[in-house]
Structure 1
Amino acid sequence: MVTIIKIGSSINRTINYNENKVKTGHAQCIEAGNYPVDLNKLTLSIKKKRFNKITSLNQNIKRNAMHITLNFSPLEHHSKETLIAIANTYMQRIGFARQPYLIYEHYDAAHQHLHVVTTYIKNDGNRMAIYNLAFRKSEPAREQIEERFGLIKAREQKPYNKFDLNSIPVKRIKYGETESKKAINIVLNYILNQYSYTNFKELNAILSQYNLTANRGRENSKTFQKRGLLYQILNKNGKPIGVPIKASDLDNQPTLTFLEEKFKSNMLKNADQQIRIKKIVDLYLLRSISLKHFTNTLLNHGIIVLKKDLSKGDEEITYIDSKTKCAISGDIPQKFIEKEINQAIDSQLSKKKIKSNLNNKNIKVKII
């Protein structure tokens, strides 16, 4: 199970998003926690009134809406009763058992998933402690729920070839094959939560493996100035194709603010994940006879090496580890940049050539 927690500025807008899905037949409200009437008697007005009454108790908090999604593996399917039990247990484990909340089951993706709407303002107007909630309470709750309900574990899902990014249930997007918005949702639901990335370079390196990119627009554009974010499908040559889709129009609203929060939280756990990449790169950097050999060697260890040409003639490398779900780019130590790789490779080739020539003359040497 994969969990996502988002903080928003409008509880009404969050409810409207889910209710609009219900109207189009893409979702259903399956449970209402801590409401004074039964679910079948709840109107849209009552749903909003319950939250608005609480949020009005603390006018100082502008971002008071919480939108939580619980995502299950495409390989499993659960009854409505089980989904409700899972969601209720999750809310209890993260400390929200007494808060009002609405549970929606959505049907607009390839995998079963729930949306939970709630607020962190309590009945007395005080706010709940939500700092670092994802790591303090959500992750432990997820692990406990996976064990209790026998769910497929988020960290242990093994594809047929665990080092092949294309073998996971999420496939590369092919423009025109599936409705664009749906295809983008499926990829983002997986990548944004399974992988560790700390900036747009790393994120887009990962997304490019699925023919997708996140774009803020040019610095003088309205999109950039208003902190907007667009997602667009790429063709087989890595070029944008089709109409870009706003982050706010997607299921989980993976906006710039959401990503910036993910960048910060990923910084905390990325250090340990980077160790594996650095050890393997250190080990095979000088052993490789060419950049292609170096790349193929790392690929055998589940690390994809992506090279990007920059506008000023420079180049950068991003390493994507499909085992630890970690990406490293720009901030890698200088010796991991491609220029250093090529220098090391060229140096080694020169040594081998010198050694060969000297050996042909029956001169024994030791190259250090």
Structure 2
Amino acid sequence: MVAKITFPRFVIGALNYNEQKVQKSVAECIGAGNVLSEVHKMNFHQKLAVFENLNALNERASTKTIHVSLNFSPTEKLNKTRLMAIAESYMEKIGFGEQPYFVYQHLDAGHPHLHIVSTTIRQDGSRINTHNIGRNQSEKARKEIEQEFGLVPTEQQKKELVIRSINAKKVVYGKHETKRSIANVVNSVINQYNYTSFAQFNAVLKQYNVVADRGETEGRIYKHGGLVYRVLDEAGNKIGVPIKASAINSKPTLVLLEQKFEVNKGKREEPKQLLKKILDEVLQLSPASMQELMGLLAKKNVYTVLRQNEEGRIYGITLVDNQNKAVFNGSEIGKAYSIASIQQHFYKTQPLTKEMEERMQTQSVTHNPAFHQPSQNQPHFDEGKDVQKDNLLQYLITPEITYENVPAQLLKKNRRRKKKDRNL
């Protein structure tokens, strides 16, 4: 069982999140604790009043709401009676056994899980101390409950709860509600993954057709440190109305992300070694091309992003390890995993055929940059040096595929430049 605790600023947000799931038939309020009315007869406002009446007793407390999620292995089949028993035991063990709370079973993920909403304010107006509750009370309760109910241990379950278990499938514009779909993706990614840059954060989001956008460098949003989130179509183009970071319940603003970058920097070594092991296993299979490498990594639940500059040259590789929830640039893992080294790996394992030798001889002159311009669709690996025989061989055997579209703005600039040249 994996337990996660958050402290929303307002109880109405946490309660509304679960109640809207109920309205969409992807969740059910299966019970409550220390509430006099029958839960299935209570409406949203009655449930909200239970908490607001207690919260009003303490005006000084800044943290009054606790929102817990209990996540179980996809292999576990737990009925409502057993889920309620687990919820009651957990709340008792973390010190909330006498507090009112509502228990929701969510049905929109690949694993069974519960959400519990409660208040930190007691009947006498005092506040329950929640300092280090996740590390202390919750961790102790989790271990005891796993043994008591025979649940899959957290260590094993974390390997099972990959990103497909978050509330978001790929966001499809026009098919899903934009704001809620974006929020589902962002809320799950922002706390689950280890990333240390804006680009790495976006590498995770783009798997789900979502992107964090700071706007144009000369624009108002960028200058004021703002951030919006947008839906991407299948071609990677931004579509639909942008959603402000401040409008999402977890407030995933640029300031929060920068704080995450710093915190995550101290937690990189273990996930880096795990990803290195995966890369070594895949490279030992001697993939013959970038496409084959990406396919093999995908089978290991690793998503690959090739970084490309404005001229269309691929200068780096980013790897999203969805199993261990971490993002790394290839060069961060080691020199042997940079884009240049990985490229070298492809053709070192390939025999030099007579046909390749003939092609190399034929193109040895025309490959000179003074006589030859590569195809616009040909991916270019910028090694920062003159083309040698090995690089020429790779050029000859690399399929003519582009991994990312050339930005439209760049194409427009080219056209304007050509027009200007004709006027000279």
TM-score by length of 2: 0.58
In 2, distance between residues paired with 1:227 and 1:116?
32
Assess, with a 3 A threshold, how the Cα gap between structure 1 residues 262 and 38 changes in structure 2: closer, same or farther. farther
Assess, with a 3 A threshold, how the Cα gap between structure 1 residues 89 and 277 changes in structure 2: closer, same or farther. same
* Aligned equivalent of 2:375: none
In 1, distance between residues paired with 2:45 and 2:301?
52
Letter in 2 for 1:84: M
Q: Tell me the CA shift for residue 311 of structure 1.
A: 5.2
* Aligned equivalent of 1:307: 306
* Aligned equivalent of 2:238: 240
1:268-283, aligned counterparts within 5 Å? 269-279=267-277
Aligned residue for 1:209, secondary structure, equals: helix
In 2, distance between residues paired with 1:269 and 1:33?
37
In 2, distance between residues paired with 1:218 and 1:239?
15
In 1, distance between residues paired with 2:26 and 2:283?
50
* Aligned equivalent of 2:80: 80
* Aligned equivalent of 2:251: 255
Aligned residue for 2:69, secondary structure, equals: strand
CA contact under 8 A between 1:2 and 1:70: conserved in structure 2? Answer: yes
In 2, distance between residues paired with 1:124 and 1:339?
59
CA contact under 8 A between 1:55 and 1:125: conserved in structure 2? Answer: no
Q: Tell me the CA shift for residue 330 of structure 1.
A: 8.7
In 2, distance between residues paired with 1:39 and 1:248?
36
Assess, with a 3 A threshold, how the Cα gap between structure 1 residues 54 and 206 changes in structure 2: closer, same or farther. same
Alpha-carbon deviations, 1:41-84, whole Å to 9, x = none?
86766644553454445544324322223345667664332332
Among candidates 208, 211, 231, match of residue 209 of structure 2: 211
Assess, with a 3 A threshold, how the Cα gap between structure 1 residues 16 and 291 changes in structure 2: closer, same or farther. closer
Alpha-carbon deviations, 1:111-149, whole Å to 9, x = none?
654332223345553451333x44444456446545544
In 2, distance between residues paired with 1:109 and 1:339?
35
Structure 2 unaligned runs (5+)?
358-424
1:283-302, aligned counterparts within 5 Å? 292=290, 295=293, 299=297
Assess, with a 3 A threshold, how the Cα gap between structure 1 residues 105 and 125 changes in structure 2: closer, same or farther. same
Assess, with a 3 A threshold, how the Cα gap between structure 1 residues 81 and 171 changes in structure 2: closer, same or farther. same
CA contact under 8 A between 1:291 and 1:345: conserved in structure 2? Answer: no
Assess, with a 3 A threshold, how the Cα gap between structure 1 residues 84 and 285 changes in structure 2: closer, same or farther. closer
Alpha-carbon deviations, 1:90-120, whole Å to 9, x = none?
2233333233322234566676543322233
In 1, distance between residues paired with 2:158 and 2:44?
42
* Aligned equivalent of 2:126: 125
Alpha-carbon deviations, 1:160-215, whole Å to 9, x = none?
xx9x9889997544555656567657656765676544544333222322333344
Letter in 2 for 1:83: L
Aligned residue for 2:318, secondary structure, equals: strand
Alpha-carbon deviations, 1:222-281, whole Å to 9, x = none?
599586652x3322222233444566777xx44316767766775565431211223565
Aligned residue for 2:92, secondary structure, equals: helix
CA contact under 8 A between 1:235 and 1:241: conserved in structure 2? Answer: yes
In 1, distance between residues paired with 2:166 and 2:24?
30
- Higher RCO structure, 1 or 2 (CA under 8 Å, sep 6+): 1
Identity %: 35
In 2, distance between residues paired with 1:118 and 1:196?
29
Question: Does residue 65 of the first structure (1) align with residue 65 of the second (2)?
Answer: yes
Letter in 2 for 1:128: N
How many pairs are equivalent? 344
* Aligned equivalent of 2:93: 93
In 2, distance between residues paired with 1:73 and 1:187?
20
Aligned residue for 1:99, secondary structure, equals: coil
Structure 1 unaligned runs (5+)?
358-368
- Of structures 1 and 2, the larger Rg is shown by 2
* Aligned equivalent of 2:325: 325
Aligned residue for 2:235, secondary structure, equals: coil
Letter in 2 for 1:234: L
1:124-203, aligned counterparts within 5 Å? 125-131=126-132, 133-138=133-138, 141-142=141-142, 144-146=144-146, 148-149=148-149, 156=156, 172-175=170-173, 195-203=193-201
Aligned residue for 2:61, secondary structure, equals: coil
Larger deviation, residues 184-193 vs 65-74: 184-193
In 2, distance between residues paired with 1:186 and 1:154?
23
TM-score by length of 1: 0.65
Letter in 2 for 1:209: Q
Aligned residue for 2:332, secondary structure, equals: coil
Assess, with a 3 A threshold, how the Cα gap between structure 1 residues 178 and 96 changes in structure 2: closer, same or farther. same
Assess, with a 3 A threshold, how the Cα gap between structure 1 residues 96 and 26 changes in structure 2: closer, same or farther. same
In 2, distance between residues paired with 1:124 and 1:166?
41
Larger deviation, residues 236-245 vs 254-263: 254-263
Over the aligned positions, Cα root-mean-square deviation in angstroms equals 5.2
